[in-house]
Amino acid sequence: MFIKSHIRGGYRAAADYLKDVGKNEKIRLVEISDHDAKNLDEAFHNMWTVASNTRCKKPLHHISINPFKDERLTDKQLMKIVERCEKKYGYKPGDHQRVIVEHILDGRQHFHVMWNRVNLTTGRPVWPGHHWKKSKQVCREMEKELGLKRPMPRRIKRILLKYVATGIIPRSLSRYVLNLVRRNPLKPIVRPRHRPIQPIRVRPEKPAYYPSPRRRKKRKGDQNIPDSEKMPFRRPEWETAEHIAWAFDNHRADVLAQYGIYLESETVNLGHHVDFGP
């Protein structure tokens, strides 16, 4: 069973919505708590008369009670649900005007209940608080008391839509899911071809600290210069001096020739050990 709750205004629109047959197959007036009203128009007119003396802009509290398609609620069961809702919302019985209408659409039964939030005794509007949460609490309580079907939770339905097509169900939820599927069988899942099932990506855990990579700065002056015109690389002075000293110590005449240091031709033998002597 589902109960949808809304706070609204607009008496004329509410009356027209409840009276309009439209796509509904059947409409039945279940109850009008105001004894002075003979139809829905007069009932909502009296609600407007009471609320017009206050500053309340949205005095109507509208809920829709929706059982499953194969379930039927009797008037006695319906009144139990409505009274439990009044108790949760904080409406005292007899102090608030109420209208109940039954609609049947595509063979499915659902009810519309509207209260005037303005109290007839005090003349002040009553705020129902978290009315959507209270409506959900009433659903769970009355399902146990009246033996009604419980809808599948959204979390479980989301898991089924994601994993049943692939045949993978978490072990921790397997029993619970299987029991729900037996009670409420799902429709076959049809997925379009252009939207294949994508695998779940697992992000690797990041270390507590990791150094940021250093990026080399580009030289702006060399961006538009061809390689043939670029200045050749020059070694620092200390590297050149160290290299020359090493060549003298190891008697490498070929290395000294790269720096423009030439010895006598008699003693030079490039690429081989040369004994310079004292």
More confident residue, 83 or 164: 83
Mean predicted confidence (pLDDT) in 40-68: 91
**Sheet hosting strand 2-8, strand order edge to edge:** 2-8, 60-66, 108-116, 98-105, 26-32
- Helical (H) or strand (E) element with 241: helix 237-249
Which has more confidence, 93 or 274?
A: 93
**Model pLDDT, residue 221:** 55
Q: Please enumerate in sequence order all residues whose Cβ is within 8 A of that of 154, keeping only pairs 6 or more positions apart, or say none.
A: none
133-137's contacts with Cβ under 8 Å and 24+ in sequence apart are: 134/5, 134/85, 134/88, 134/89, 135/3, 135/4, 135/5, 135/63, 135/85, 135/88, 136/3, 137/88
pLDDT at 157 over 60: yes
Instruction: Record the tokens describing residue 162, joined without a space.
Output: 């994601």
Residues 76 and 189: their CA atoms lie apart, in Å, by 39
- Check residues 248 and 233 and name the one with the higher pLDDT: 248
The per-residue pLDDT for range 123-132, each reduced to its tens digit, is 999 999 999 9
Under the banding of pLDDT at 50, 70 and 90, the label for residue 240 is: confident
Q: What is the pTM of this model?
A: 0.59
Banded model confidence at residue 266, pLDDT cuts 50, 70, 90? very low
pLDDT for res 87: 93
Q: Domain 2-146: give its CATH code.
A: 3.30.930.30
Residues 6+ apart with CB under 8 A from 94: 33
pLDDT at residue number 268: 43
- Contact (Cβ atoms closer than 8 angstroms) between residue 149 and residue 143: yes
pLDDT > 70 fraction of the chain, expressed in percent and rounded: 65
Both tokens of residue 50?
A: 């009471």
Closest CA to 173 of 191, 188, 189, 160: 160
| CATH 3.30.930.30, the chain: domain bounds | 2-146
Assess contact for 19 and 80: CB atoms under 8 A. no
Q: Does the CA dihedral 206-208-214-215 come out positive or negative?
A: positive
* pLDDT band with cut points at 50, 70 and 90 for residue 76: very high
Whether 25 shows a pLDDT value over 80: the answer reads: yes
- For residue 178, the SS3 value is helix
